[in-house]
Chain A
């Protein structure tokens, strides 16, 4: 069975600066996969290349079997993206937001309405569905952005720091959803700085630093490899050794 996401020698340069340096990675279907790394490690750049916003300078990447360079439209149909910033339209209501994104994804009529109602209820936004998004709290906005990513029921989800800056209740709601989503056969690529979250949600993780992979595996494999206890210790050891600290 092919991978949900595969990267081979994926490289991205901005002018002379290499921000992603030959990343090769295979992410199987139906898992929550963690892409971890300190700020500036290149996590967001990888998500942007997988969502076809950025073109790789060299190497290749496939999402749901489609190449990001030769089949960008099919790639975009296969993914739901939650960017680091929600990027919602403040003057639209939650319902209008999902109607717009669902419509662009090709949904319409009762199917679209059903999806909108289901997602708004699932994320406890249904009672505020007619409120403009500008009046929403950060947690509500994040949940709505996740609902937007899910509106077309994509097989692959790219979640960039999904719980960053959220309160406890919103964080819990999003984590609960991510935990369950893999059971439905979806693949989640989750970037995070939060090692507790990664340990809780991800079946496998890759630690990225300065645009290159430092380690990949299950949490247990990484603990054994770096002779540390807990993902946070593994991460700190790897990043420190990389920085020469």
Chain B
């Protein structure tokens, strides 16, 4: 019988078997497609002051012209829904949750300011309420602006200029490629989550694969069949790879949709990843899926049973997030050299592709080391599969 036919039969059997498992359907198809739109959609909605404004009560005990100006400035600030009263049970309003922030403008506030003195307003809010924090921050900004306007006016009357108060200014000039906020977020999060989804797709299959066959004692019947074990390996490996790719593509669609259409970050919705970079990203994901599937296969083969395979495979999810943290603390010029690290380096290569700073030498170096790594892992997987000690242990 031809090698290709065995591989096809094994792959078909594995695919039918695994797709009848609800866990796989959920983790490989539903989670990657929906998790980012749901997560970013919810975050985008609740964190954005425009869609989720903070209700604010101004208790104006003054009624003078300065407090009226301040009240007007606050009312016209986006992200705040302002109500006004002359008195209120301040703590009660906060506790009940009718208002996120209560701002008390004391009596004689305007008179004090107009006569050149200083008067305080008092803000009440619950710091455990994130929306209240945002509201308080917006109010502080408005109060600061109004205060600065009054200060400028006073200084002008005394013949003092802005230069007198702030003799040194700072002018910032960004060097290098300037990206939109969306592109920066995408470049830092997107590669890590894509690798995460790539690994997630094949995870249950890899756990269930050789380790599961050992536990169910089905390897003995399988390996008593004529084809060499390398053909069973290739059939199973193909399925792990296919599941990883399905999940990665669904994750890619979900993530791109979230980052562009759902207006993550509260900025203007713009395409955050150039369409021209998608073929390169897809190519990197193919290679990453090959490596991650091979690593998963090795671990599953080595493990005695499903539980042990889960224990060995789960920490890989955490390892995949290391580049996300490290890249935040290193200058871009020093990052490309780390692209040669097997599997994790793909994160950096993808990041540079998205930003547009990837070089041919960086890509070549990363691909070379990763292909060597892939070869070693596949060789190790085959070796483990041919080991009596590894294959027949199951307790």
Contacts and interface: CB of A to CB of B under 8 A. Distances in A.
Given A87-B217, A88-B218, A55 B225 contact: no
Interface in B1-49: 1, 5-6, 9-10, 13, 16-17, 20-21
Given A103-B9, A104-B9, A87 B218 contact: yes
Contacts of B6: 104
Interface residues of B, number: 27
A145 B392 CA distance: 19
Given A77-B226, A91-B17, A54 B392 contact: yes
Contacts of B216: 85, 87, 89-90
Interface in B219-244: 219-228
B21 A53 contact: no
A205 B348 CA distance: 67
Contact of A100 (B1, B13, B224): B13
B13 A53 contact: no
B220 A53 contact: yes
Given A100-B9, A103-B5, A76 B224 contact: yes
Contacts of B219: 87
A223 to B, nearest CB: 35
B220 A81 contact: yes
A151 to B, nearest CB: 10
Taking residues whose C-beta sits less than 8 angstroms from the other chain, chain A's interface range is 20 to 34
A101 interface: yes
B164 interface: no
A199 interface: no
Contacts of B16: 91-92, 96
A48 B1 contact: no
A90 B1 CA distance: 26
A89 B17 contact: yes
Contacts of A101: 221, 225
B223 to A, nearest CB: 6
B220 A79 contact: no
Interface in B373-395: 388, 391-392
A80 B57 CA distance: 83
A51 interface: yes
Contacts of B217: 83-87
Contacts of B1: 104-106
Kindly name the residue among B16, B226, B388, B392 whose own CB sees the greatest number of chain A CB atoms within 10 A. Answer: B226
B21 A91 contact: yes
A73 B228 contact: yes
Contact of A87 (B5, B220, B226, B227): B220
Contact of B224 (A53, A86, A92): A53
Contacts of A76: 224-226
A227 B392 CA distance: 40
A24 interface: no
